[in-house]
Amino acid sequence: MIFSPEGLPGPAHTGREILGTQGSLVLRNVTAQDSGSYTVVLETSRGRRSATKQIHVKNSLQLMPLKTFPAAIRGVIQSELNYSVILQWVVTMDSEPVLSWAFNGVPCGMGEKLFIRRLSWEQLGTYMCIATNSKKQLVSEPVTISLPEPIAQPTEAEPMEPDPTLSLSGGSAIGLLVAGILGAGTLIAGMCFTIIQSLRTDRQRKGICS
């Protein structure tokens, strides 16, 4: 439903919608058919902006279930585009009712079944059926048709790289072992040389004193 900047109604106007103060939308005598998506469009010299709000109208009457294909889960049918979707009224009423369908609050069909033969982007939204006879009116539970949610791919665990300070290859380990042995040998040789030199010095001192 669109209003022009002058406040004139556009598509899907039923005569119950008016523009209130500060651009607010007022719905008079709200019914279950008013459930759906409402979009506000703001046009300025800097461009065009829009925002959409989903409104669900609660009905004091008991909501009737619908038979659907594919099956609805918690009031939602997930279907790919170009696939068929069928909604069917299955409640029996004493005296045949008049069955009308609404899509986002806008009348979209009549009869026991609503066929959507090749689902398109424009047909994604919320559907309801209203059954009316001379005694009463029954309303179906809202059924929303949407695209399947993408399946999140499991993330692969990144391989842990070994700590270079702790992990050594075979060649590196052998090299480190050889270096350790050589270092220990050098240290022992240095200690032996120091002891021998100390003994020689003591002998020389004794010879001089005698």
3-state secondary structure of 157: coil
Nearest to 144 by CA among 56, 46, 62, 40: 56
Q: Name the residue type at position 118.
A: R
Write out pLDDT tens, residues 77-120: 999 999 999 999 999 998 999 999 999 999 999 999 999 999 99
Which residue would you say has higher pLDDT here, 59 or 70? 70
Contacts of 28 (CB under 8 A, 6+ apart): 16, 17, 18
Write out pLDDT tens, residues 136-162: 999 999 999 999 988 766 666 666 665
pTM of the full predicted structure? 0.49
